[in-house]
Amino acid sequence: QVQLVESGGGLVQPGGSLRLSCAVSGIDFGFYTMGWYRQAPGKERDAVATIINGGGTNYADSVKGRFTISRDNAKNTMYLQMNSLKPEDTAVYYCNARYPRAGYNCWGQGTQVTVST
């Protein structure tokens, strides 16, 4: 019943842009902290950016100034605008919804982002 579905991944050249979307259903979206995480082969899954229900954001140092996280509570959708992409941004990007006080943590299936010539 709870679903997080990512879209927008693909192949892009260095310096290019992509916009990822995460469509959420089955929960009251506005109650949850949302985030984008990524995992490259052989590496840990790390937080890229998070956004709380009030709109406050946090970014990994590696993406500050290049990526922008946002949410539209009316559409139950979260976005990640990715600009000035670098090869080291190549990874599977995952959508995450959390409500720690209720012990809730849910993940999407992931979408592949490849930055290469």
* pLDDT, tens digit, 9 for 90 and up, residues 78-95: 999 999 999 999 999 999
- Whether 69 has a pLDDT exceeding 90, the answer reads yes
- Whether 109 has a pLDDT exceeding 90, the answer reads yes
The gap from C-alpha 24 to its chain's centroid, in whole angstroms, comes to 12
DSSP state of 29: G
- Whether 30 has a pLDDT exceeding 90, the answer reads no
pLDDT of residue 34: 95
